[in-house]
Amino acid sequence: MAIARFFRGRLLLGSVEVKEGEFLVDLADSLGIDIPRNCTSGNCGTCLVRLISGNVPYPDPLPPGLDEFLIEDGGILACCMSPEGACDIDTIPPL
């Protein structure tokens, strides 16, 4: 069973079982964790969070809400990206 854990900095906000194909924002919602969002398609970047550990594949081509600099800092878009297995997510985005 793979678990997604959500943090705010070092504070653990909650953890939930990963379901295949479920977006990170939906996993967070199931825990009552609000990740801001707007477009829900990766265009605006409002849902930007940081991947601490685990595998969350990037779509190809990259959505407009992501760029190489954000990716270098672990940036992922919670509205349109799904983890493959266990992962740790910081809700504080890389800026």
pTM: 0.94
Q: Kindly list the structural domains of the chain, giving each domain's residue range(s) and its CATH number in brackets, ordered by start.
A: 3-90 (3.10.20.30)
* Residue 78 per-residue DSSP state: T
Q: What average pLDDT does range 84-93 have in this prediction?
A: 97
pLDDT tens-digit readout, 3-37: 999 999 999 999 999 999 999 999 999 999 999 99
Q: Is the peptide bond before 63 cis (omega within 30 degrees of 0)?
A: no
Strand segments, DSSP code E, in 1-95 are: 3-8, 11-17, 48-54, 75-77, 87-90
Residue pair 42/59 in contact (Cβ under 8 Å)? The answer is: yes
